[in-house]
Amino acid sequence: MSYTDKMLRDDALKGKVIVVTGGGSGLGKAMTKYFLELGAQVAITSRDIDKLKNTASELEAATGGTCLPLQCDVRHYEEVENMLQSVLKAFGKVDVLLNNAAGNFISPTERLSANAFDTVIDIVLKGTKNCTLAFGKHWIDSKQTSSTVLNIVTTYAWTGSAYVVPSATAKAGVLAMTRSLAVEWAKYGIRTNAIAPGPFPTKGAWDRLMPGDLAEKFDMAKKVPLQRVGDHQELANLAAYMVSDFSAYINGEVVVIDGGEWLKGAGQFNMLEAIPEELWDQLEMMIKAKKNK
C-alpha cells in the first residue's frame, strides 16, 4: 500500500450527486476523477465551458462515469442558481457541494488595485457564500435529510500570510462560514467541513504562484517536515472520505493535509532543526556545565 493508492471501496460514492466548482482543472479535476471512479455523478463548473467540456469527456472516457460540464461564474448569485437548477434537471437531486473554485495573486498588497483585491474576495469568499447559500436553501426547502458542503481552504486561513493577503482574508472568512454553518445547519442534516491542503503542485496555480525560477528558488518540499509535496490522489482520498457517508459524524472540522508544513513555520524553536548532531553534543556539555556551577 502507498499514499498514491486509491483508498475507498469501489462503490463508496454510488448514488451521490456531487458539484465541484472549479472542477475543470488542477485539484478540482483530480478530486472529480476519483469521485467518478467511486460511482458518483459529478457536475463540474467554471467560467470556461470549453475547458470543462474537454475535462468532462476525458474523465468520462477514463472512468465510465457521468460528468456534466456547466458554465458558472460563482461570483454571480443568479448564475449559481441557474447552475443548481441544471444539476437538479440532469440528476434529480444534489448531495454534495465542493467549494473548490479559487483565485489568487502573489503580490505586495500595496501594488494591488482595489479591483484586484475584490476579484479574489469575490471568487473565494463571495463565490463560496453564493454556492453554499443557494444549495443550503434548496436542501432546507426540499427537506433533504443528508447533504454535505466541503470547502477547500488553506493553512494560512488561520495564520495569515504575507503576499497573498486577499486570499488569506477570503479563506479566513470561508473557514468561519464552515464552522458557523456546521452548527446552524446540522439540524437540517447538512454537514459542513473543510480541507486545508498544503503544497500540492498543479500546472495552473503553481505556475501562477511560483512563476519562472521561483519554484526552484523556494523548493516547497523543503518547507515540509515530511520533505515532499502532496500527491493529488492523497487529497482525492481525503475529499472522497469527507463527502462519503463514512464521515457521517464529522462536522465543522478542518482537516489539514500538508505534511506538517504550517506547524514547521509556527513552532518557536523549530529552527533548531538546522543544528547538527556534533553541535548538540557541545551544547549539552555547555548547558550541563552551567548547571553544575
Residues within the interface to ligand COA (CB under 6 A):
102-105, 107, 112-113, 115-116, 119, 123, 204-205, 208
Distance CA 132, CA 117 (A): 22
What's the closest the beta carbon of residue 125 comes to ligand COA, in angstroms? 13
Of residues 2 and 113, the one with the C-beta less far from ligand COA:
113
Closest CA to 157 of 255, 73, 72: 255
Q: Which is the catalytic residue, given 77, 156, 163, 241? A: 156
Of residues 103 and 136, the one with the C-beta less far from ligand COA:
103
**Strand 96-99 relative to strand 254-257: parallel, antiparallel, unpaired?**
unpaired
CA dihedral sign of residues 197, 20, 49, 153: negative
**Strand 190-197 relative to strand 17-21: parallel, antiparallel, unpaired?**
unpaired
C-alpha cell of 133?
447559500
What's the closest the beta carbon of residue 157 comes to ligand COA, in angstroms? 13
CA dihedral sign of residues 26, 30, 36, 39: negative
C-alpha cell of 204?
495552473
What's the closest the beta carbon of residue 236 comes to ligand COA, in angstroms? 17
Of residues 54 and 119, the one with the C-beta less far from ligand COA:
119
Instruction: Quote the DSSP letter at residue 180.
Output: H
Of residues 175 and 190, the one with the C-beta less far from ligand COA:
175
Catalytic residue at 156? yes
Of residues 190 and 238, the one with the C-beta less far from ligand COA:
238
What's the closest the beta carbon of residue 28 comes to ligand COA, in angstroms? 10
Element (H, E) at 18: strand 17-21
Within 109-179, strands assigned E span: 147-152
Distance CA 102, CA 183 (A): 25
Of residues 24 and 39, the one with the C-beta less far from ligand COA:
24
Residue with cell string 504575507: 162
In the chain, the largest separation of any two C-alpha atoms, in whole Å, equals 81
Closest CA to 13 of 238, 243, 250, 251: 243
What's the closest the beta carbon of residue 222 comes to ligand COA, in angstroms? 21
C-alpha cell of 279?
553541535
DSSP string of 81-96? HHHHHHHHHHHS---E
What's the closest the beta carbon of residue 75 comes to ligand COA, in angstroms? 8
Closest CA to 256 of 270, 266, 246: 266
* Active site residue ranges: 156
